[in-house]
Amino acid sequence: MVDENKQEKTWSPSYLREPQLLLRATAFHEAGHAVVGYRYGKFVRDNGIRIDFIRPGLGNCHTRGEYLFPLQQVGDSMMRGAQVKRLRSECIESLAGHAAEFRAMAIRKWVTLECPDTRRALELIKSVRECGEQTAMLELEWTYVPATRRMVRDQAIWQGIETVAKELLKADGFLSSDKANSILENTGVIQVSPTYWR
Ligand SMILES: [Zn+2]
């Protein structure tokens, strides 16, 4: 795993240099965040879903904003359990972009820590678990990355991701939050009640 990360620093798949493929990769990336976020009870908010045409390969899917506290600071054990569930869903949502992108582009590699999504998941684990980088990295690799891959392989989730990515490309790279949420509602992806958000 560690060696793989070293290699990834110079890793650059050919689709990064082909504009049409890069567009497709970005659409699947953002769709991955949107559908997995939806699965965890979140809706697309504010700025909707957008592919950034000025900076190729970048995009934005606005569902974020949840705030997590260190487990020690969270009251009783039920609340702590809820916090762990939230940590799980936040991390998986964050990693879902690359999981969807790589599946769409038939890439078997995993991401590097230079990627902000992976970095964000790692920082969340560190702050909620109050652990160091290495422990967080193990948890990320052995718990959250496999869980994200499993989720993206789920048939309904993958079909949902394909639908959102297709609609995003059809709409020239922008779906408003209303439009995105109505597409999500029709995908057949079951939304899990977000009661543990609070
Ligand atoms: Zn992302």
According to the model, what pLDDT value does residue 7 have? 44
How remote is the CA of residue 136 from the centroid of ligand 1, in Å? 19
Architecture of domain 2-197: Up-down Bundle (1.20)
In tens, the pLDDT along 27-75 reads 999 999 999 999 988 899 988 999 988 887 788 888 765 667 788 888 8
How remote is the CA of residue 195 from the centroid of ligand 1, in Å? 25
Work out the number of other CB atoms within 10 angstroms of the CB of residue 122.
Answer: 19
Nearest Cα to 163, choosing from 147, 141, 145, 186?
186
Give Cβ neighbours of residue 21 (< 8 Å, ≥ 6 apart).
14, 15, 105
In the beta sheet, which residues pair with residue 52? 58
Nearest Cα to 168, choosing from 7, 23, 11?
23
Q: What is the mean pLDDT of the chain?
A: 86
In tens, the pLDDT along 140-178 reads 999 999 999 999 999 999 999 999 999 999 999 999 999
How remote is the CA of residue 198 from the centroid of ligand 1, in Å? 24
H or E element, residue 135? helix 133-139
**Dihedral of the CA atoms 173, 179, 181, 187 (nearest 10)?**
-80
36-49 b/e (C-beta count within 10 Å ≥ 16 → b): bbbbbebbbeeebb
Parse the chain into domains and list their residue ranges: 2-197
How remote is the CA of residue 77 from the centroid of ligand 1, in Å? 32
How remote is the CA of residue 94 from the centroid of ligand 1, in Å? 6
How remote is the CA of residue 169 from the centroid of ligand 1, in Å? 17
According to the model, what pLDDT value does residue 111 have? 62
